[in-house]
A and B are shown apart, each in its own frame.
Chain A
Amino acid sequence: MTKRIDVHHVTRVEGHGNIYVEITDGKLKECRLDIVETPRFFEAMLRGRPYIEASHITSRICGICATGHATASLRATERALGVELTKQTQLLRKLTFHGEILDSHVLHVYMLVAPDFLGVGSVIPLATSHPEVVLRALRMKKLAGDICAVVAGRHTHPIAMTVGGFTHFPTTSELMALRQRLVDSREDCEATVELASQLPWPQFERDTEYISLHKPDEYAFIDGDIISSDGPQLQAERYQEVTNEFLVPHSSAKHTKFQRTSYMVGALARFNNNFAQLHPRAKETAAKLGLRPKVTNPFLNTAAQVVEIVHCVEDAILVIDKLLSLNVEPEMPAPVTLKECSGVGVCEVPRGMLIHHYWINAEGTLTGANCIIPTNQNLANLEADMKALVVTILDKPVEAIQHNLEMLVRAYDPCISCSVHVLKIEPRSTL
């Protein structure tokens, strides 16, 4: 007897994907995550454009990680041109970044994952059955969006961030208001941790290689070395030794691998590699959720996001305190001296390590670009997890296998996750 799960058009921001599983006589014959979307050619769009436009173009790669792409882009340009940033610029970027991580994680935890556990199909029935949960999520998302708007000019696609600095600056009263709202949001954070601690996370373990950025003195979101849970630590410029992109027939998105056949990026990888740099309250959160590195259950990537929600709220308060003590004032972006150069910018967006690599000529025009996003880096590992998970539930009905796979895909929080949530599948059984 053959069981097939054939899921078409699992859409994602940058593409479409299908899940295909075939089980014959109780044995797994095939398990694939097909990525079938046409490439979007952002790297080609960058060629021939002035360096100053790159961050605004690439922030459109994603409507959720817009600040992340803009930041990686700016860092690539700035590192290429040798631009040094002021303390004020670094703090403002960090604050915006925390806003985006919060926004994305709250969306994923509450609106994508929670419905699975609370027995509803999506966020609208969840709003009826658990209105306080959805209202909390919307409140937290509003705060996150307002952080981005106050600092970077708007919620999505930051307009005030530019090469070498900012073109707009928050006032003291705006920063103080954000600080108060962040302090007030601790109550919502505690409720989020409480909710996460009650969720029946699926039991599934598969050790893999965890890759993230790393800084010795802070939980790395912007800049840093690339570190593997298996040992090596490399400078960001050596990213290609880590990513080793390769093509597979069933995916128009490239797969990656480093020292094993696949690796994982994202909140769980960051948690595993950078636990020591988390804010003390985030470490307390991890303890409440029973998380200690190294965590090898991919479903707990969502729990690691909850830990990061607490970290970002607490660190954002600290960042604002530093900005207030600096007395934020308008300053001109750092000057640029054009030359033929190249540079690599790295940051940790909500879904993992993001890399932008630019080549710029002496006129300041981009002659080449390479962007490696976290969803691509996770594909091989996600597929490996799918295979390992399916063989443990081969005897389950097709619907149960499908549901487990959907939850696994969602746990990775790839850009396809929102559509995976409402997969329409066509199970077929043949003798």
Chain B
Amino acid sequence: MTTGDIQVPSKDLRHAGTLVLGVGNSLCGDDSVGPCLIEILAKRSLPPGTRVEDAGLPGWGLPSSLEGWSSVFLVDAVDIGLPAGSWRRFRLEDVKLWLQDENFSLHQADLACGLALAQALDRLPEHLYIYGVQPAQTNPGEPLSPQVSACLPGLADQIILDLGKKQYDTKANPHC
């Protein structure tokens, strides 16, 4: 899915641009928050050089998706221990990636595994921000919860605001 002023970014544009990547399973309740947000952003006016993409479950393909972009905004459901629908923006260096060693599976690599692989390969973008939304439930077959649904417009506004900034300062943002 593409919006902004580009369809398929050229190699040069990719290096200069910003990618907003929605991650999650559209069939599993609030895990669909990433794809849902991409759907909203795709209908909005975005700064030039921005691409939005529903990455679904990128797994081990995440390093390839990140490669070449100077800035990437990732949106996903994250258990941050707050009321459902709350969201926080953070950088990778602000958190510890929990790799599920017991179930480490090449069929089921989660976002943490994909990020860890990108990190190990030195393929992370210069600026990487993760917008984590607290889910109410991530059950298969369930729709988006009312709480997460309600947070989407505000989150979309914030991401568009952040996309327009030239400087990123996570400490200046109350949601960080």
| A contact residues around B101 at 8 Å (CB) | 422
Interface 9-residue window, one of B12-20, B60-68, B137-145, B148-156: B60-68
Please name all residues of chain B whose beta carbon is closer than 8 Å to the beta carbon of A63 when the two chains form the complex. Answer: 107
Q: What chain A residues lie within 8 Å of B61 (beta carbons)? A: 138, 141-142, 145
Our pick among A131, A138, A418 for the contact of B107 (Cβ within 8 Å) is A418
Interface flags, B61-79, vs A, CB<8A=1, else 0? 1011000000000000000
Distance of A142 Cα from B60 Cα, bound (Å):
10
Q: In the complex, which of the residues B64, B103, B108, B117 contacts A123, with contact meaning CB atoms closer than 8 Å?
A: B117
Residues from chain B with a CB closer than 8 A to the CB of A36 are: none
Residues of B contacting A: mostly: helix
Does residue B99 face the partner (Cβ distance < 8 Å to A)? yes
Give B contacts to A, CB under 8 Å.
Answer: 60-61, 63-64, 99, 101-108, 113, 116-117, 120-122
Report the bound CA distance from A125 to B119 in whole Å. 11
Chain A residues close to B by CB (< 8 Å): 11, 13, 63-64, 107, 111-112, 122-125, 127-128, 131, 134-135, 138-139, 141-142, 145, 415, 418-419, 421-422, 424
Chain B residues positioned under 8 Å from A111 (CB to CB): 60, 106
Known: A63-B107, A111-B106, A418-B105. A138 touches B122 (CB 8 A): no
| Known contacts A138-B61, A138-B64; A122/B120 CB under 8 A | no
Contact A422 B60 (CB under 8 A): no
- Return chain B residues, CB-CB under 8 Å to A419: 103, 105
Chain A interface mostly helix, strand, loop or mixed?
Answer: helix
16 contacts between A and B (CB under 8 A): A11-B105, A107-B60, A111-B60, A112-B106, A124-B99, A124-B117, A124-B120, A134-B120, A138-B60, A138-B63, A138-B121, A141-B64, A145-B61, A418-B105, A421-B104, A422-B104
Chain B CB count within 10 A is highest, among A64, A112, A415, A419, for A419
Q: Please determine whether B117 and A134 come into contact, CB atoms closer than 8 angstroms.
A: yes
Residues of A within 8 A of B104 (CB): 122, 421-422
Report the bound CA distance from A238 to B60 in whole Å: 40
